Amino acid sequence: MDTIPVQTHERNQFVNITSLVRESLDRGRIREGFGIVYCPHTTAAITINEAFDPDVVHDMLLWLERQVPHKQAGFRHGEGNSDSHIKASLLGSSATVLVAGGELVLGQWQGVFFCEFDGPRRRNVQIQWLGN
């Protein structure tokens, strides 16, 4: 298993970690198989989406904030970050990435993102490579 540190700078932020995932793949020396990119935090997530146009990330963050605002009447969680837990659950704690010929199998515009919803913080992403 490989652990990748990620530093976030905003309360809600998507960090493109594709290059870090590729570096981890190189260390894992997997030619064919897959990897599980996992976030062990309850207020953050992992997703694969468009990495070419930054407006996609902007629009996703805008939509998530409109659907689950930070200060919502009726939230009861004492830490005041209920929205962060909900957003993280909506996106999910992991993504599976295929590997072929020693390379990540991603679409032309796709990237792997760490999704922060309770930052800024120093976080970790864990990756497990399976294959040969």
Instruction: Retrieve residue 84's tokens.
Output: 């962060």
**Per-residue model confidence (pLDDT) at position 92:** 98
Q: How do residues 18-64 score in pLDDT, each as one tens digit?
A: 999 999 999 999 999 999 999 999 999 999 999 999 999 999 999 99
Tell me the mean pLDDT in the region 73-84. 90
pTM comes to 0.96
CA 5 to CA 117: how far, in whole Å?
Answer: 16
72 pLDDT more than 90: no
CA 95 to CA 17: how far, in whole Å?
Answer: 12
Q: Which CATH number fits domain 2-72+81-131: 2.30.29.30, 3.90.1150.10, 2.60.120.460, 1.20.120.350?
A: 2.60.120.460
Are 32 and 99 spatial neighbours (Cβ–Cβ below 8 Å)?
yes
Q: Long-range contacts for 58-66 (Cβ within 8 Å, ≥24 apart)?
A: 60/14, 61/12, 61/13, 61/14, 64/12, 64/90, 64/117, 65/12
Which among 112, 97, 127, 107 is positioned nearest to 32, based on CA atoms? Answer: 97
